[in-house]
Structure 1
Amino acid sequence: MDSTDIAIVGGGAVGLSAGIALARQGWRVVLASRGPVRRDGRTIALMDGSVRFLEEIGAWEALAPHAAPLASLTIVDDTGGLFRGPPVTFHAGELGLDAFGQNVENGTLVESIARVAAATPGLELRDALMTGLSTDGTHAAVALDTGETLRAGLVVGADGRASPVRVAAGIGSRPWTYEQSAVTAILAHDKSHHDTSTEFHTRAGPFTLVPLQGKRSSLVWLTNPARAEELAGLDPEAFALAAEQQAHSMLGAMRLDGPRGVVPMSGLSVDRFTARRTAIVGEAAHVFPPIGAQGLNLGLRDATDLARALGPAGGDPGAPERLARYERARGPDVRKLTAAVDLLNRSLLAGLMPVDALRGAGLLALASIGPLRRIVMRQGLGAGR
């Protein structure tokens, strides 16, 4: 039986980042994962705090040449309701920043972090899947499909929304679904995006264009499942025209410039973030629609807070007091943001006049009250915790 300080299950961006951060603190870490990175037109808008975390673990330098800055964020009420609010634009300069963050293709992000992980002393990557997990008062045992068993002081579940680690640890979860799917794509367009991400709030959900390098943007288009499948089945020219029309030709003529994907929308919350000798991060701990570019950023905050809770290597990484610090750090942040995103998404789908009026009043307040707008921006960056 192999022995290590920490075993991480799952090799996405959050699991890899957590592995690097913990290994850099001196812990012996083994990360088990399998499967190629899938490219489906998804990009990740990394907020300023996430960029700084990736800088700290040495992963940003290789990513920077592939990223596009997000200098402004615009929300447009495109619901057609009677009480539509005005467009609201958040400028990074209001917070003294050059950009809120950087947008990069998901595949490029994971591949770049994986290269850093492979070169990190103290972090071992294994091509394996977990088949079983047991814990006792002193250690956890992770069974792998290679026939090996890992003995660790702490197991970190970074294994996605279905999370075998979460299930095996007995951490309760509450999943839900939306009558929505997200169509993802990369588009080229005739006009400059001026480093501005634009989120149109429609009755079917947000339609979001996030800048990439040059005259290119990534698209996340939430709509009903039947419409999503219809869009995914269009030929490239027809799809690009549909996106251009939905964007009110804001960026001029559009062309498909990469793969497309369709992702059913769902949500998930958990009862707790830790169990005996176990912690969960990323989508093992929280899932919600891609509104406000918060999903992966929240997962990277999980990795940051887990590293802080464990501290420099020494002693028992799965000690109750260390896990309690992580629980205290993540609980309020995750639950607050999950509730806010879920409420906003459901308010778009509701189509009720009182709800429209409240949402319109909120946008009006953000447009006209500078201090309130800056508070919301800091919350979105994770700076208001």
Structure 2
Amino acid sequence: MTEASAPAQDPVRVDVAVAGGGAAGLAAAIALSRQGWDVAVIGPTAPRRDGRTIALMDGSVRILQQIGVWPALEPLASPLVTLTIIDDTGALFRAPPTSFQAGELGLDAFGQNIEAAPLTAALAEAADQRPGLSRIDDSAASLRTNPDKVVLSLKSGRRVEAALVVGADGRHSLVREAAGIRAREWSYTQTAVTAILAHERPHHDTSTEFHTREGPFTLVPMQGRRSSLVWLLAPEKAERVAALDDAAFAAAVEKQAQSILGAMRLDGPRGAVPMGGVTVDRFAGERSALVGEAAHVFPPIGAQGLNLGLRDVAALAKAVGPVGGDPGAPDRLAAYDRARRIDVRSRTAAVDLLNRSLLSGFLPVDIARGLGLMALSSIGPLRRFAMRQGLGTAP
């Protein structure tokens, strides 16, 4: 029998199809499967090690505990006990360094830092162990929605039918496009250089963020005397820094860090990622919901990226509810959309404003930013409110 005359495969039928095999998509699939839904994750899970880590704030750790995956992740993580911000813009008006202690909120740590690739791999392993959850190592080529179901046509020729599709397929989301959800995209004149480094002095579980004229330069603690780097630079400078050999690269990082951790050496992969942003006009459409970077993208400031995506996951699981009825019903998706609007939009606007204020060099903007940091440093209730907001915790 020739391939052309072979009978077509029967479609895979599930309650929920999750498009995207990254961390947000896997977490969504696990959360929904734990509620009894039959779930399929569509997308390859082959995370690339490029020196990126994820600072999982306390609220995100709690979500991962709730969906049963934190025990597998905890051995890979390093606590974030102190967060320090240093104004290194060279502005005429600069606030003194500002530090926040987890103990001020009665916590042992603000969160946990974990390398991105092992995080995704551990989530994939947890997904493989879930009954009622299957993973399809393929990609969606097209999809169509109607009032009764969603049909995804995969690149291999297979089809998947579901009552709900979750778009966790990144900033160029096919699910978002098919659902007719409008997105606004923009770019920054910045590239994030990422790396993992070993250093001479202990970090004391402190994450240090230098605010520079090109954007934040952040060192986040890892296990042992190691830290991960996120360094936002103008694209031309980022290209030059990325081209340095390992020893020269480590020396450049040490200099930019004002040698607070002593001599450095490269201790893992490094990468470079152009910076941009995405925001959407709604978070759900007909039988469709967006999570993670399909719904929001912004620079790595304040550790909000995947933390916001995990809050998407928690809100979606709550809106869809335990097994029973229709997971893609309009009222459930409307509840999810309402739940995410204020959180996502306020944080996207705040991060965008802070990033642009660093790039501006306009004196009144420098003064406003400096006064804001001074207020955070000296006004106790404001400090605690800001810390809880950063954690994704209600005030």
Normalising by structure 2, we get a TM-score of 0.97
Q: What's the secondary structure of 2:124's corresponding residue?
A: helix
**Which of 303, 306, 326 in structure 2 is aligned with 1:296?**
306
- Bigger drift between 318-327 and 141-150 goes to 141-150
1:226 alignment partner in structure 2: 236
The SS at the match of 2:332 is helix
* Unmatched segments (≥5 aa) in structure 2: 1-10
**Residue of structure 2 aligned with 1:182, choices 192, 208, 228:** 192
Q: Which letter maps to 1:324?
A: A
Task: Return the match for 2:139 from 115, 118, 129.
Answer: 129
Is the aligned partner of 1:354 residue 2:367?
A: no
Whether the aligned pair in 1 keeps the contact of 2:191 and 2:272 (CA below 8 Å) is yes
Equivalent residue for 1:8, pick from 18, 42, 48: 18
Tell me the CA shift for residue 313 of structure 1: 0.6
136-145 vs 292-301, which moves further: 136-145
Of the three residues 323, 340, 348, the one matched with 1:313 is 323
Distance in 1, Cα, partners of 2:286 & 2:333:
9
Contact 2:153 2:159 (8 Å CA) reproduced: yes
* 1:243 maps onto 2:253 in alignment: yes
Q: Deviations over 1:315-343 (max 9, x none)?
A: 00010110011001101100000000000
Q: Pick from 99, 113, 120 the counterpart of residue 103 of structure 1.
A: 113
**Is 1:56 aligned to residue 63 of structure 2?**
no
* Distance in 1 separating the partners of 2:96 and 2:323: 51
Distance in 2, matches of 1:250 and 1:139, equals 56
The Cα offsets for residues 324-380 of structure 1, whole Å up to 9 and x where unpaired, read as: 110011011000000000000000000000000000100111111111000000000
Partner in structure 2 of residue 94 of structure 1: 104
Q: How many Å apart are 1:35 and its aligned residue?
A: 4.8
Q: Does 1:162 align with 2:176?
A: no
Could you say which residue in structure 2 is the equivalent of 1:18?
28
1:216 aligned residue: 226
Number of the residue aligned with 2:384: 374
Which consecutive unaligned segments of at least 5 residues does structure 1 have? none
* AA in 1 matched with 2:263: A
Instruction: Name the CA distance, whole Å, in 1 between partners of 2:44 and 2:203.
Output: 37
Find the aligned partners of 1:252 and 1:378 in 2 and give their Cα distance: 32
Shift of 1:146: 1.9
Pick which of 36-45 and 142-151 moved more.
142-151
Partner of 1:206: 216
* CA apart distance, 1:21: 0.5
Q: Look up the match of 2:181.
A: 171
In structure 1, the partner of 2:152 is 142
Secondary structure (helix, strand or coil) at the match of 2:269 reads coil
Alpha-carbon distance between aligned partners in 2 of 1:65 and 1:156, rounded to the nearest angstrom: 29
Q: Matches of residues 329-340 of structure 1 in structure 2 within 5 Å?
A: 329-340=339-350
What is the identity, as a one-letter code, of the residue corresponding to 1:75?
A: I
**TM-score, normalisation: structure 1:** 0.99
TM-superposed deviation, 1:150 = 1.2
- Give the drift of 1:36: 1.4
Distance in 2 between the 1:2 and 1:69 partners? 42
* Cα distance between partner residues in 2 of 1:2 and 1:81: 59
The C-alpha deviation readout for 1:129-173, integer Å capped at 9, x for no partner, is 001111111111111112111111100000000111111111100
Q: CA deviation at 1:384?
A: 2.7
Q: Secondary structure at the match of 1:3?
A: strand
Which amino acid in structure 2 is aligned with residue 257 of structure 1? Answer: D
Count matched residues: 385
- 1:90-134, Cα deviation, whole Å (9 max, x unpaired): 110000000000000001100001000000011110111001111
CA offset at residue 2 of structure 1? 2.3
Distance 2:23 2:46 in 1: 13
RMSD between superposed Cα atoms in Å? 0.8
Aligned partners of 1:324, 1:164: CA distance in 2, in Å? 20
Match of 2:290 among 280, 283, 287: 280
Moved over 6 A (4+): none
**What is the SS of the residue equivalent to 1:259?**
strand
* Partner of residue 336, structure 2: 326
The 3-state SS of whatever aligns with 2:161 is strand
**Paired AA for residue 213 in structure 2:** R
Cα distance in structure 2, aligned partners of 1:365 and 1:170: 43
Taking the aligned partners of 1:257 and 1:137, their CA distance within structure 2 comes to 52
Aligned sequence identity (%): 64
Cα distance between partner residues in 1 of 2:46 and 2:163: 28
What is the CA–CA distance in structure 1 between the aligned matches of 2:292 and 2:326, rounded to whole Å?
23
What is the distance in 1 between the residues matched to 2:319 and 2:391? 21
Whole-angstrom CA distance in 1 between matches of 2:68 and 2:21: 17
Q: Deviations over 1:202-260 (max 9, x none)?
A: 00000000000010000000010011111110011100000000000000011111111
Tell me how far apart the structure 2 counterparts of residues 36 and 369 of structure 1 sit (CA, whole Å): 45
* Partner amino acid, structure 2, of 1:274: A
